[in-house]
């Protein structure tokens, strides 16, 4: 870059290239950019291949399936905050025990954002929020951000 002398006080830097176009996407639109593959890559790295639900007396340990916290039919996407890597037995348990699964944060109602709904007892971590980067955030009771 060529230097062209000092800027006068209060002068703005001249922009030589346009700002990257802001797409103006809503959160939902940004989430929909996740594919099965890209979402799974992040979630499976987060889980390390171990079930992220671990229902006592049910869990098989090894994760093998993706649990949509918000179902696809309810607008849920493949973004990592919406996924849990689960074993087949916990996955079945979740679908057979919808009220308990919702209370645990393993399923998320249509009108709520999975990134803002805690998982109440994530293995080894306790109460956490999941984000779309594969990061696990420990949160206190009543805290949602």
What is the contact surface with Zn ion in residues (CB under 5 A)? 51, 53, 59, 87, 90
| Minimum CB distance to Zn ion, residue 92 (Å) | 10
59 vs 101 by CB, closer to Zn ion: 59
What's the CA gap between 71 and 114, in Å, rounded?
A: 11
| Minimum CB distance to Zn ion, residue 17 (Å) | 50
Q: List C-alpha distances in Å: 10 to 2, 4, 14, 31.
A: 21, 16, 12, 40
31 vs 59 by CB, closer to Zn ion: 59
| Minimum CB distance to Zn ion, residue 131 (Å) | 22
62 vs 116 by CB, closer to Zn ion: 62
Of 137, 118, 49, which is closest to residue 107 (Cα–Cα)?
A: 118
Q: Please give the DSSP secondary-structure letter assigned to residue 126.
A: E
| Minimum CB distance to Zn ion, residue 12 (Å) | 57
63 vs 81 by CB, closer to Zn ion: 63
Strands 119-122 and 83-86: unpaired
């Amino acid at each position: 870059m060529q230097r062209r002398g000092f800027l006068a006080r209060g002068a703005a830097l001249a922009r030589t290239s346009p700002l990257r176009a802001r797409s103006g996407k809503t959160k939902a639109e940004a989430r929909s950019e996740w594919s099965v593959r890209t979402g799974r890559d992040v979630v499976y790295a987060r889980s390390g291949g171990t079930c992220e639900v671990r229902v006592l007396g049910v869990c098989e340990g090894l994760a093998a399936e993706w649990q949509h916290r918000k179902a696809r039919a309810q607008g849920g996407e493949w973004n990592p905050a919406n996924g849990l890597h689960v074993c087949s037995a916990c996955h079945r348990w979740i679908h057979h025990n919808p009220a308990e699964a919702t209370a645990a944060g393993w399923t998320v109602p249509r009108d709520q954002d999975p990134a803002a709904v805690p998982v109440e007892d994530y293995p080894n971590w306790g109460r956490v929020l999941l984000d779309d980067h594969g990061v696990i955030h420990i949160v206190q009771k009543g805290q949602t951000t």
